[in-house]
Amino acid sequence: MRTHIYNIVGLLAIFVVAITFSNVATAASPATTAKARWTAGVEAYAEGNYTAAVEAFEDVVDLGYATAEVYYNLGDAYFKLGQANTSHPFATGELGRSILNFSRALKLNPAMEDAAYNLDLARDYTNDTEPLPESFIKRMWHSLRDNMTSNGWAILSVVMLALTLLLVLVYLLASRIALRKTAFFVAIATALIFILSTALSLSQRTAQLSTERAVVVCNDTAPVHASPNSASKVVRQPSQGVIVDIVRGSDEWTEIAFADGEKGWIRNNTIERI
């Protein structure tokens, strides 16, 4: 009877191990490919072969390993590729793609200072308008939020939760009144930080998951119409790389809002969601 149970347990163990290993085997393949393509991209960029660098980093993204660094490098590679065409820089939409990828990098990691710098520099080449000023509280909230990713805030919130509960225990157990007092007030502070970081993490998650912003990606400029048909008036002519908000969309047209609040309809194939 007992040996029988052992056999079953042994079989189960082998089965579990086999499944785990097969999973590891299939999962290892794209990971190593992505790593190889990443290295190839970095080398190609260093040699100045920006076409190859763009292809390599695009492959990494397609494999599902799209981190902020990959998008950042892709943005750099597109920018340099566009600049390499000295007679007509950014002739085939490289500026738009560069800005798209810098924006995506910042969306994943808002604290990525290099990406913010490059995005700012690349946007000098566009005819983007000045954004409407945000309210003070919103600006404060965003600047606080963008110090860390959603995951960073989530980890902080979990740590703060643990710390709060630990301090509650200290409060309950401490024999010295000074220690109990300290534990009590620090616990209130950590509890507040826990609530704040949870809120920031959730807010950052919403921002990171939203696809409400888009970048104009076209060869030169794309017409923005007053209504979703090509016969209507062209209200604006944004250049590639202009960042817009998406208001609503249809099969062929998307209503967009510019940074200064102006709205219009643009063809779907001339914008890319960030």
Q: For binding to another protein (CB under 8 A), which residues are involved?
A: 31, 34-35, 38, 42, 45, 60, 64-70, 72-73, 75-77, 79-80, 108, 114, 117-118, 121-122, 150-151, 153-155, 157-158, 161-162, 165-166, 168-169, 172-173, 175, 198, 201-202, 205, 208-209
Residue among 148 and 266 whose Cβ is closer to another protein = 148
Residue among 50 and 258 whose Cβ is closer to another protein = 50
Is there a contact between 237 and 222 (Cβ–Cβ < 8 Å)? yes
**Smallest distance, another protein to C-beta of residue 94, A:** 12
Closest C-alpha to 200, from 139, 133, 147, 161:
147
> In angstroms, what is the C-alpha Rg of the chain?
26
**Smallest distance, another protein to C-beta of residue 61, A:** 9
Residue among 73 and 103 whose Cβ is closer to another protein = 73
Q: How many residues does the chain have?
A: 274
**Smallest distance, another protein to C-beta of residue 141, A:** 17
Residue among 153 and 258 whose Cβ is closer to another protein = 153
CA distance 225 to 262: 12
Residue among 161 and 196 whose Cβ is closer to another protein = 161
**Pairing of the two strands 224-225 and 234-236:** antiparallel
**Smallest distance, another protein to C-beta of residue 273, A:** 15
CA distance 17 to 147: 41
**Smallest distance, another protein to C-beta of residue 100, A:** 14
The amino acid at 43? E
**Smallest distance, another protein to C-beta of residue 165, A:** 4
Residue among 201 and 270 whose Cβ is closer to another protein = 201
Q: How far is CA 92 from CA 55, 79, 223, 272, in A?
A: 15, 11, 16, 15
Buried residues in 206-220 as b, exposed as e (16+ CB within 10 A): ebeeeeebbbbbbee
